[in-house]
Structure 1
Amino acid sequence: MYVGELLKNLDRVSTGVPGLDDLIGGGLIKGRVYLLIGPPGSGKTTFGIQFLIEGAKNDEKGLFVSLLEHPKTITQNMLRYNFGLLNYLKSKRIVFYDLGEGVFRAGRRFTWSEALDNLLSIVEGEGIKRVVIDSFTSLEHSVLDPDYKRIALGRFVRKLHDMGVTCLMTVEMMSSERYTDEYYLADGVIVLHHFMRDYRMIRALQVLKMHGVAHDTNLKKIRFTDEGLRVYPEAPF
């Protein structure tokens, strides 16, 4: 592979979260898969929508795959922000795919290959460039063949890379002593935290892993604003 091709494969895409790109050398690497981890209420879905909106602004069509929440509920929740989300949905620069409809309402379970190949067919058919899967943990709980996960997920990651599609998967926060396959297969891991200190809610972000990118791994303060999540350069304390 020529040097020019190698450098092209390191093209960056903005996260859409103010302050975060500065921590990871200018943005995420295009065509790679990233994990966004956090407890309930930490901002994972908001982060995902910001990521898709940033892409839509740059003519990168986005796909939001919902497992737990209905797309209508997500859209209503996002109206609190100045995202202009409805305009992006109407113009189909961002599309929702309600995977939870088939999994939970119909009581159907998929194999890993069925679930991920289905997503790939939508990505390819719709000309998608950014994908958010919310949440990957829920998808994991709905499959028939958990032992086949690493192989199917590996194929999924490679295919997205070949298509130049950047993917963000939200994952429920787990014990630091238990890491699942997606932690190892993903090119980056971003963690959202919230905890109480002196009777006050503290919110923070940490870039735990980021392949091929110089990054700051220290805890950084984050806040919910009218424009969505924002990362600040200082520590949360």
Structure 2
Amino acid sequence: MYVGELLKSLDRAPSGVPGLDDLIGGGFLPGRVYLVVGPPGSGKTTLGIQFLMSGVKNGEKGLFVSLFENPKLITQDMLRYNFGLLGHVQAGKIVFNDFGQILFGAGRKFAWDELIKYLLEIIRKEEAKRVVIDSFNSLEYSVVDPENKRMALGKLMRKLHELDVTTLITSEMMSSESYTDEYYLTDGVIVLHHFMRNFQMVRALQVLKMRGVPHDSNLKRIRFTEEGIRVYPEAPF
């Protein structure tokens, strides 16, 4: 079998974002870990919820681990879309975990290994097949050993692969000219952008990296609709 045919035959986990799967050969590879990065207000959390909603349609339980924001507020914000999120939460098909209670309630900082252990315990307990960790930057401000980040992140990636959980990790874009460890260690990187052009906000998505599948790395226009984020095939400008 040719490599191209083998890639096409691999199972895919639909992203839940109209137009995105067209850029990544049909969807995410199940059991992999992906990074969604962008500036504030670019749609990272919305994309994560769409990813979980798509999993529910395939019979996959979803887990949203909030590292900073109160999950109740996230749920309220998502009611602006026609997701039907609340019904799935009430049915236990999507579970929100307020990891911020651990981070801010302990009154101390943690070692990286502690935080990774807590995260994995939550994922195992919920037996979720799709996980969103939002937003990874919050962990960095809560550790006593920042120098151990790369090793801890590598351990987390390995364990998530072993659990066969398809995971999205969101992260704030600190600089467009420097890359953090997440860029290198995750299986794929999706960047959300917004620009001011002719006094109007222009939003775009870029698949910066996607291991194992052919992908389109060019900037694509995105819009927020009543159904969430939608990706369009044309360039944003």
TM-score normalised over the length of structure 2: 0.94
2:28 aligns to what? 28
Structure 1's consecutive aligned runs of 4 or more residues displaced over 6 angstroms after TM superposition are 6-9
> Which residue in the other structure is 2:159 paired with?
159
What is the correspondence of 1:129-208 to structure 2 with a 5 Å cutoff? Answer: 129-208=129-208
Report deviation, 1:68.
1.8
Deviations 1:131-172 (A, max 9, x none): 111100111111121112122211111111111101111111
Mapped to 2, the partners of 1:134 and 1:92 lie a distance apart of 19
- CA gap of 1:10–1:155, structure 2 versus 1, over 3 A, is farther
C-alpha separation in 2, matches of 1:44 and 1:109: 26
**Given residue 137 of structure 1, which amino acid in structure 2 is its aligned partner?**
N
Which amino acid in 1 is paired with 2:170?
T
Alignment correspondent of 1:230: 230
CA contact (8 A) 1:102 1:108 kept: no
* Contact persistence 2:8–2:25 (CA under 8 A): no
Q: Deviations over 1:182-224 (max 9, x none)?
A: 1110010000001110011100000000011100011101000
Aligned ranges 1:13-92 → 2 under 5 Å: 13-92=13-92
Other-structure match for 1:100: 100
Name the CA distance, whole Å, in 2 between partners of 1:76 and 1:207. 29
Distance 1:209 1:23 in 2: 11
Contact 2:7 2:213 in 1 (8 A): no
- What percent of counterpart residues are identical? 70
Q: CA deviation at 1:178?
A: 2.2
CA contact (8 A) 1:9 1:30 kept: no
* Deviation string, structure 1 residues 17-73 (Cα, Å, up to 9, x no partner): 000000000001111111101111100110011011111111111111112210000
Gaps of 5+ in 2: none
Amino acid in structure 2 at the alignment position of 1:178? S
**How far apart are 1:8 and its partner, in Å?**
11
In 1, Cα distance between the equivalents of 2:234 and 2:206? 12
The Cα of 1:174 is off from its aligned counterpart by 2.5
Distance in structure 1 (CA, Å) of the matches to 2:9 and 2:109:
36
For 2:121, the equivalent position in structure 1 comes to 121
Superposition RMSD on alpha carbons, in Å? 1.8
Which stretches in structure 1 are left out of the alignment for 5+ residues? none
Q: How many pairs were matched up?
A: 233
Q: In structure 2, what residue type is equivalent to 1:201?
A: M
Q: CA deviation at 1:176?
A: 3.5
TM-score normalised per structure 1: 0.94
Aligned amino acid, residue 220 of structure 2: K
Aligned-partner residue type, residue 78 of structure 1: M
